[in-house]
Amino acid sequence: MAKAKSSKRQASKTSKTAKSTQSTSTQQAATIAPEPTPVDPASLTYEAVIGLEIHCQLSTQTKIFSSSSTQFGAPPNTNIDPVCLGLPGTLPVLNEKVLEYAVKAGLALNCQIAPYSKFDRKQYFYPDLPKNYQISQYDLPIAQHGYLEIELVDENGTARRKKIGITRLHMEEDAGKLVHAGSDRLSGSTYSLVDLNRAGVPLVEIVSEPDLRTGQEAAEYAQELRRILRYLGVCDGNMQEGSLRCDVNISVRPVGSNTFGTKVEIKNMNSFSAIQRAIDYEIERQVAAVKAGEAIVQETRLWDEATQQTRTMRVKEGSSDYRYFPEPDLGPIEVSAEQLAAWRADLPELPAQKRHRYETEWGLPPQDARVLTDERGVAEYFEATVAAGAPPKLAANWIMGDITAYLKEQKLAIEALPLKPTELAELIQLIEAATISSKMAKDLLPELLTQGGSPKALVEKKGLSQISDVATLEAMIDEVLAAHPNELEQYRAGKTKLQGFFVGQMMKKTCGRADPKLTNQLLAKKLNASS
Amino acid sequence: MSVIQELHRQLVRKERSATEITQAYLDRIAAVEPTLHSFLTVTGDRALAQAAEVDQRLAAGEEIGLLTGIPLAIKDNLCTYGVRTTCASKMLEHFVPPYESTVTQKLQAAGAIMVGKTNLDEFAMGSSTENSAFGFTANPWNPERVSGGSSGGSAAAVAAGECAAALGSDTGGSIRQPAAFCGVVGLKPTYGLVSRYGLVAYASSLDQVGPLAPTVTDAAILLGAIAGHDPKDATSLSVSIPDYTQALKPDLKGMRIGVIQETVGEGLQPEVKSALEAALKTLEALGATIVELSCPRFAYGLPTYYIIAPSEASANLARYDGVNFGFRAEGASDLLEMYMKTRAQGFGAEVKRRIMIGTYALSAGYYDAYYLRAQKVRTLIKEDFAQAFAQADVLVCPTAPTTAFKAGEKTADPLSMYLSDLMTIPVNLAGLPGLSLPCGFDREGLPIGLQLIGNVLGEETLFHVAYAYEQATPWHQQQPQL
């Protein structure tokens, strides 16, 4: 216990770039000479220590400190105004939605919300940063000391849960974008163009504790974080458009050690699987290096999707000094207890809570619970279907199967699906009551998916309800048997496989409406009885 | 007699048209500018066009406000849409803002006419306008003397009758000290009373815009027009703005006036000291009670200011990098070189000095010893003032230790230059209002300024005391001979 605690404290130190170099190098020294007798590094087993820093763009209509639009993909330098351009004399004014979204994200991540917080200036020169300082939060972030729970499901469908600590969540403004001309990279380009549409887009930076150990855990953490933010409606989580950007800090150490190895930062992963692959690659690289007695260089590495490798981007030369100081243009941020309570009451049920509920209350397998809760819309659709009377597992199967396939094919959000949850529930109930067969339900589905409406009415309109009346079926069976004396004779001579043939004839006769189970039972009785 | 009220009377009675008034000020500018250099840009055509509009409104029988048709000068660190705003820096020599500062917007809405943009120390850093990249502004009382700074251009323009009144900005005394040197009234309002939107930032937690005017009444009228909450400035206060002219009363019965002992000791020019003593007698004669009190940390204001202001300035001025606007040096072969050449060539020596001091004070390992400690001292200075205001309604002290010094006298010695703001700086650190008004002349005929310091949002009390004193003394009636 004491071990875990001390490592956490050190880790939160390493998560802040400005102070990391010194502390990690002393940690490195400690790992190198721990024992009186030298141990062959190749003989040890290693584990990775991983922390994530995730930048999320908040889905506000306007920028964090000015009124320009935040819309993605606008022509360069069209979503701009004097404030986000940092023109002389302009002043920032906090967009209240940003605070609300950040606090809600903090609450959803089980953080303590600071009753008194402030903005600071983080100073560095770069052409995409119009003021040459970023308005960010330094020592009093809006939220701290939280966690989220990840769930990893193995091949057997068994779920393993793990709490991942959240060090802090803070608000800041995004920078603009440089477009390098004459080359697709900075090196070799002849000049660079500045697009400031993104300058001043609101971000939250969420820093995890170094509680992650594998690429899979890290990818799952990032995914769960994205899920939560999307549930809250505070971030669209679009990695391709850069709404969610993930930096990884990773080091390796012998299993059992409570100090840290030298930290390497990895950037440039734009999917969850890339996060996982980059980390797995990097762990392998670092372990091989350590085993070979090589020192790990503290540096920033880029994930190269083409080669599936990480490569050096820049080596840290000393620590950078951002000369943080309190932003004098913005007053302190004070969140009243009433406001906090109101925002807390606004929070939806989150994916982890839903997963627990689906598994414990409705007995769904962990994998199903995961799939259904991935998107808030799908989860709500599922819950509404169950609330309308559908058995959970059956509703789950329909939603995860045909409906998901249809949505994917049509590139449609479930909210836009014409078939409403009550209608899906009705369809499932028709099958349950044996009014129609599953096969018939599947046949009806395309029309229901595209047009919606009551399945019961559709069945009636099409005269499709299942024939489950024993007397009617028996009479029809008699007719079929009478129409096929040869086959009947062969059956009774022992060729019992022919029962399928008679079932087929029944289906043909009833246009598929004969209750298959009942038909089989009755047919078997008739075929065998009169011999 | 208030200049604004007199011009308003003339306009309303159709004794003079707005065009005639404006033309008269433009003529005065043309006559004295070769000597003074108060202006960096004179907006004559624009002013006459504005005046013509006012005349049309008058001809149509419209009622006009007090400031309608009144020619004003604006310090050139206030952004004016379509009119270049240089901050007296090569960095912004050709910068034309695509937006208007809130204060000039308000003046425009009130119908005021802008005759031009006035000179200042580069980025408002200085006490003599000698740090202007475009030449210094001479003192109308003696052109060999400085006009003070950084709002020296506005102060000289008011003193020389180049405008009816002017706007300046004050970070450590930049309205009050030049007002004292030029023999006019200058007010630094309570921090947050006036919007800073469009004021090019020097030190954000200290900067305030305020009026420079020939009389207390004019200053009160002008403050009423520019004060008030601005949604574009998160540090602006949400308070209702009174009619400050209602506070102008001739007697001071029951008023407790505190004299800060720490300001009347060594280092004062003898005539400044005797003028202060005489002023106290006048105030007493008007019915006020004089209280001697102490602000023990007053003297720490100066060193505290020279940590906090440069720290904020080092960040505020980082944006002048040659990338998006303003000056960009030629001949750089890469980004770093472009930054370095641009800033080396674009900024003057004093600006560079303050950027370096601020950068140092905020650096890792020095932050606690300098910036953080300075913030603590700032709190103590505020406490001193709070205690003083338990004993007095208004505090008085000289605005500056001396009268206007000779041009070039202190440029080689930044520390002695900084000392001329010794009396004004603590007021900015505490966020309080401060007013300077004429209280006499020295042996050489140079004006002496009396500083009144008010409690938070104590502008009405300041105007009250200043008006009573002004009415009882002849100083404001004297004009420089140019």
Tell me whether residues A325 and B362 touch, CB distance under 8 A.
Answer: yes
pLDDT of residue B277: 96
pLDDT value of residue A302: 94
Per CB-CB distance under 8 Å, the chain A contacts of B362 are 123, 323-325
Closest CA–CA distance from residue B363 to any residue of chain A (Å): 5
Provide the shortest C-alpha distance from residue B325 to chain A (in Å): 8
Is-catalytic flag, B294? no
The pLDDT value recorded for residue A526 is 86
The answer, for B82 touching chain A at a CB cutoff of 8 Å, is: no
Average pLDDT over residues B288-308: 96
For A249-276, what is the mean pLDDT? Answer: 94
**pLDDT per residue as tens digits for the range A157-167:** 888 999 999 99
Residue B273 annotated to the active site? no
From B2, B75, B106, B436, the catalytic residue: B75
Interface A-B: count of C-beta contacts within 8 A:
104
- Mean of the pLDDT values across residues A58-72? 96
| Percent of chain A predicted with pLDDT > 90 | 69
Across B197-221, average pLDDT: 98
pTM, 2 dp: 0.89
The structure tokens 């720290």 sit at: B311
Gap from B202 CA to chain A (nearest CA, Å): 9
Least Cα distance to B213 among B46, B6, B458 occurs for B6
**Alpha carbons A304 and A319: distance in angstroms, whole number:** 26
The pLDDT of residue A36: 57
Let me know how long chain A is.
531
* Cα torsion A456, A460, A464, A467: sign: positive
Residues of A with Cβ-Cβ distance to B203 under 8 angstroms: 328
Average pLDDT on A448-459 reads 90
pLDDT tens digits, one per residue of A311-366? 998 886 666 899 999 999 999 999 999 999 999 999 999 999 999 999 999 999 99
Among B174, B195, B236, B314, the active-site one is: B174
- Give mean pLDDT, residues A257-263: 92
What is the identity of the amino acid at A146? G
Strand partners, A112: A144
Show residues of chain A in contact with B324, CB under 8 Å.
85-86, 130, 194, 196
Q: Mutation test of the interface with chain B: which of A323, A324, A334, choosing the one with the most B Cβ atoms within 10 A?
A: A323
Point out the least confidently predicted range of A250-254, A314-318, A405-409. Answer: A314-318
Q: What values do phi and psi take at A266, rounded to 5? A: -115, 135
Instruction: Report the SS3 class of residue B90.
Output: helix
Interface test with A, best of B76, B103, B317, B324 (most A CBs within 10 A): B324
Report H helices in B167-295. Answer: 176-182, 216-226, 270-285
- Interface confidence, given as ipTM, is 0.96
Whether A16 has a pLDDT exceeding 50, the answer reads no
Cβ-Cβ contacts under 8 Å, B334 against chain A: none
Q: Which residues of A touch B (CB under 8 A)?
A: 18, 82, 85-94, 121, 123, 125, 127, 130-133, 194, 196, 319, 321, 323-325, 328-331
Q: Which of A495-509, B318-332, B351-365 has the lowest mean pLDDT?
A: A495-509
Shortest CA gap B72–chain A (Å): 20
Cα B299 from Cα B119, distance rounded (Å):
29
What pLDDT does residue A511 have? 75
Closest CA to B232 of B350, B79, B344: B79
Q: At what angle do helices A516-529 and A485-492 cross, to 10 degrees?
A: 70
Flag if B79 and A94 touch (Cβ within 8 Å): no
User: Is B196:B189 a contact under the CB 8 Å cutoff?
Assistant: no
Whether A28 has a pLDDT exceeding 60, the answer reads no
- Give CA–CA dist A459/A519, Å, rounded: 20
- Digit-coded pLDDT (tens) for B381-403: 999 999 999 999 999 999 999 99
Name which of A89, A94, A132 is nearest B201 (Cβ-Cβ).
A89
Class of B3-255+392-477 in CATH: alpha beta
DSSP H or E run through A19: helix A17-32
Torsion of CA A248, A251, A252, A253, to 10 degrees: -140
State both tokens at B236: 């602006």
Is a pLDDT exceeding 80 seen at residue B327?
Answer: yes
Active site residue B174: yes
Higher local confidence (pLDDT), A291 or A15: A291
What are A411-426's pLDDT values in tens digits?
Answer: 999 999 999 999 999 9
The backbone region for B61, taken as left when phi is positive above 0, alpha when psi lies in -120 to 50, beta otherwise, is left
d(CA A288, CA A283): 8
- Categorize the per-residue pLDDT at B4 as very low, low, confident or very high, splitting at 50, 70 and 90: very high
pLDDT of A438 reads 85
Domain definitions of chain B by residue range = 3-255+392-477
d(CA B31, CA B19): 18
**Mean pLDDT for chain A overall:** 89
Output B443 or A10, whichever has higher pLDDT: B443
Residue A331 with chain B: CB contacts under 8 Å: 234-235
pLDDT of A181 strictly over 90: no
